[in-house]
Amino acid sequence: MNAHCHVKLAEALSSERVSALARRPRKEEAEAAIRTLIAYAGDDPDREGLAGTPERVARSFDEFYAGYFEDPVAILQRTFEEIEGYDEMVLLRDIPFVSHCEHHLAPIVGRAHVGYLPRSRVVGISKLARVVETFARRLQIQEKMTSQIANTIQQVLDPLGVGVVIEAEHHCMTTRGVNKAGVTMTTSTLLGAFRDNPETRREFQRLARG
């Protein structure tokens, strides 16, 4: 693995977390903003049914966007080298996630398929799911999220290759705007052997489809 690239990635992600904390307003300010949005929608933020909504929405933001304060590099740090020579593909299919579109704050609901070809070590499969979750719990576009997951795994684990496929429904399209329910979007990022070796690429695509 290129240690310099690994360090640079860790430093960049650490800097992102520091910046996220620095720009974060106080909870009371967030709740006041939510009250303003309720009034903008045309309702009364002081009526009984809405009185506790600003506080509940602020708490939901803590969950929806927790990925800004998590470290995907640290998640992948603990690996296992006693793999008895295993050198075949590792694939985790159908990882469910909920993200939010950075253009409308509307939900993006989908599944990710993540595979890699180990060089000399493997990582616990729950860690792959946590990396997906970390990048999903941010304001996103699907293309960027797909690339972020693949590039992080490639730089931290230094496998022979990485493949990530994401299939998702975007509520900014299905519940507003053109209102085309049931439409899904598919994106993929292929690195190393997954891009350069046609046989490896075909195997990953076949396994990801199930």
Residues known to be catalytic: 101-104, 142, 170, 172
CB 97 within 8 A of CB 133: yes
CB 142 within 8 A of CB 187: yes
Give the integer Cα–Cα distance in Å for 129 and 113.
9
CB 14 within 8 A of CB 71: yes
Give the integer Cα–Cα distance in Å for 6 and 103.
31
DSSP state of 109: E
DSSP state of 25: P
Q: Give SS3 for 2.
A: coil
